[in-house]
Amino acid sequence: MNLFNRENYKEIKEIFGRTYDDYINKIYRFVFLKTGIKEVAEDLSSETFLKFFNALKKGTKIENQQAFLYQIARNLIADYYKAKGRTAVVSADLSPIVDPKNLEEKSMVNSDLSLLKAGLVRLKEDEQSIIVWRHLEELSIPEIAKLVDKSESATRVMLHRAMNSLKEALNNRHKEA
Amino acid sequence: MSHNLYMANLTEKEIINKLKELKGIRPSTEWVLNTRAGFLPARNALHGNAGGYEKPKFSFLELFSFRRVLSASLVLVLIAVSTVLVSDNSLPGDSLYAVKKMKEKFQASMLASGDEKTNFQLKLVDDRLNDLNKITDQNKTRSLAVGIEEVKTTKAEVKKDILNSIQGKGKKEAVKLAKKFAPVLKEIDAKQTEAYASLGIEPKEENSGLEAQYKTIVESEIKYLKTCTLSEESSSALKSAIDYYESGDYLSALISLPKDGN
């Protein structure tokens, strides 16, 4: 059923605008950390919100907007790698990640973060996601459990394993270097 | 201590603190605002409701602030509409290109699936090829890879769409649809080959399944027409179609097939 008409447009606009403002940075960051390419992150993030908009338009009942958006983004990222036959490998020498004030700090911070990011992209998709959600976006364990559709205790175990994998990935990079 | 060694020796707590610094990753404000504007004003334009402005409830005393809000809103709407319009001329790699794509995706989403949508997507492939030609003409070498990727992706999407619409139909309708889209696809192929030739590259595409579908349709039609009594003109067209089929050019074969078969 298409519920997109003049009467309910105001409501859709409000929900969409609010959700967009709340989640655009998070979704962009999530996609960027998994693809490492600005243009792809922009494209997939806007596609995520387009699908969200279309869902609102169709009158889909969305109980958890956060879970809905992350799930769309994850599917789009999976499609992106599938369609392009690419593997999720991002080099450490990416363009600067953050923009600290002084040059020395900038160089040090970007170097650290690039290494950390290169470590992250070596993990499995669900490990990357769970680390980003917990330690970047600071979601609670119950919130993450809903996103991964697992019990809270299973989510804790997943997170613990993901952090161990990240440590191992950072260690392996050191050995390779 | 090298950075690699330093990172390898971090404790979990230190790694978590470093992870929090990745919060510095943010999209550009320009992109965030343009993308947002790409969604909301487009709907207003569709309904001829300029600016989507809704009359608020206000008292006489609020008139002054209301006017200011109205002026600011109109300015914002004008900026958003101008951005969307200006983005029409952007090319892959330009900052406004994301807005142009957003607008196209929105337009596509407003079309019901079917011929209308497929025609729109075919037009997008043509637009991407024109973009690529402009990139070449303007010598924007840094945008070439993105331009080529855009052509590839857009074409793959429309081929998938055509394949889905053909597969979902009965034989007669499938042949009709395949014949309908064949000339446009052939024209796009020719234009793509020409654009790529000027860059010294050859089009390489992943197998979408559409080629196999066209092959099956042509095979079946040739088989059927061979059993029919054909006019001299139709026999000649069938012979031409068979030649194309044998050379692997299924689009040309389908286009060449005679219409009559009695």
3-state secondary structure A62-121: CCCHHHHHHHHHHHHHHHHHHHHCCCCCCCCCCCCCCCCCCHHHHHHHHHHHHHHHHHHC
Assess if residue A122 is contained within a domain.
no
A1–chain B Cβ distance below 8 A for any pair:
no
Chain B residue numbers with beta carbons less than 8 Å from the beta carbon of A13 are 40, 43, 52
CATH number of A12's domain? 1.10.1740
Distances (CA, A) of A78 to A155, B92, B122: 21, 23, 25
CA distance linking residue B20 with residue B23, whole number of Å? 6
Assess if residue A177 is contained within a domain.
no
pLDDT number for residue B34: 83
Assess if residue A166 is contained within a domain.
no
Chain B residue numbers with beta carbons less than 8 Å from the beta carbon of A39 are 93, 98, 146
**Token pair belonging to B257:** 């097939």
Provide φ and ψ at B128, rounded to 5°: -65, -35
Assess if residue A101 is contained within a domain.
no
CA distance linking residue A86 with residue A66, whole number of Å? 27
| Residue from the list A9, A113, A174 with its beta carbon closest to the beta carbon of B8 | A174
Assess if residue A31 is contained within a domain.
yes
Chain A residue numbers with beta carbons less than 8 Å from the beta carbon of B109 are 50, 53-54
Is the alpha carbon torsion for A137, A20, A144, A42 positive or negative? negative
In terms of phi and psi (left: phi > 0; alpha: psi -120 to 50; beta: otherwise), the region of A100 is: beta
Buried b (16+ CB within 10 A) or exposed e, B95-108: ebbbbbbbbbbbeb
Chain B residue numbers with beta carbons less than 8 Å from the beta carbon of A20 are 36, 39
* DSSP of B84-119: HHHGGG--TTSTTHHHHHHHHHHHHHHSPTTHHHHH
Residue A38 buriedness (CB in 10 A; 0-12 / 13-18 / 19+): middle
Indicate the residue type of B138.
Answer: Q
Buried b (16+ CB within 10 A) or exposed e, A47-61: bbbbbbbbebbeeee
Q: Which residue has the tokens 């917990």?
A: A134
| Numbered residues of chain B with Cβ closer than 8 Å to any chain A Cβ | 2-8, 10, 12, 15-16, 18-27, 31-32, 35-36, 38-40, 43, 47, 49, 52, 54, 93, 98, 101-102, 105-106, 109, 146, 153, 156, 206
Indicate the residue type of B199.
Answer: L
- Is the model's pTM score more than 0.80? no
Q: Which residue has the tokens 């965030």?
A: B32
Count of the separate structural domains present in chain A: 1
pLDDT digits (tens, 9 = 90+) for A77-128: 988 888 766 554 443 334 444 443 444 444 555 567 777 887 888 888 889 9
Q: Do A47 and B2 touch (CB under 8 A)?
A: no
Reduced to 3 DSSP states, what percent helix, strand and coil does chain A have, rounded to the nearest 5?
75, 0, 25
Assess if residue A125 is contained within a domain.
no
Q: Do B12 and A167 touch (CB under 8 A)?
A: yes
Assess if residue A54 is contained within a domain.
yes
A34–chain B Cβ distance below 8 A for any pair:
no
Assess if residue A9 is contained within a domain.
yes
Chain A residue numbers with beta carbons less than 8 Å from the beta carbon of B32 are 24-25
pLDDT in 10s for each residue of chain B, 262 residues: 455 555 667 788 888 888 888 888 888 888 888 888 877 654 443 343 333 334 444 445 555 566 667 777 777 777 777 777 767 788 888 878 888 888 888 888 777 667 788 888 888 999 999 998 888 888 887 788 888 888 888 888 888 888 888 887 788 888 888 888 888 888 888 888 888 888 887 777 767 788 888 888 988 889 888 888 888 888 888 999 999 999 888 888 988 888 765 5
| Interface confidence: ipTM more than 0.90 | no
CA distance linking residue A33 with residue A11, whole number of Å? 32
Q: Do B31 and A171 touch (CB under 8 A)?
A: no
Q: Do A171 and B25 touch (CB under 8 A)?
A: no
Instruction: Show the domain range for A67.
Output: 1-88
Smallest CA–CA distance, residue B23 to chain A, in Å, is 6
DSSP assignment, residue B55? P
Smallest CA–CA distance, residue B22 to chain A, in Å, is 7
pLDDT number for residue B17: 85
| Residue from the list A13, A45, A97 with its beta carbon closest to the beta carbon of B22 | A97
CA distance linking residue A50 with residue A85, whole number of Å? 24
List the Cα angle B222/B225/B229 in 5-degree steps.
155
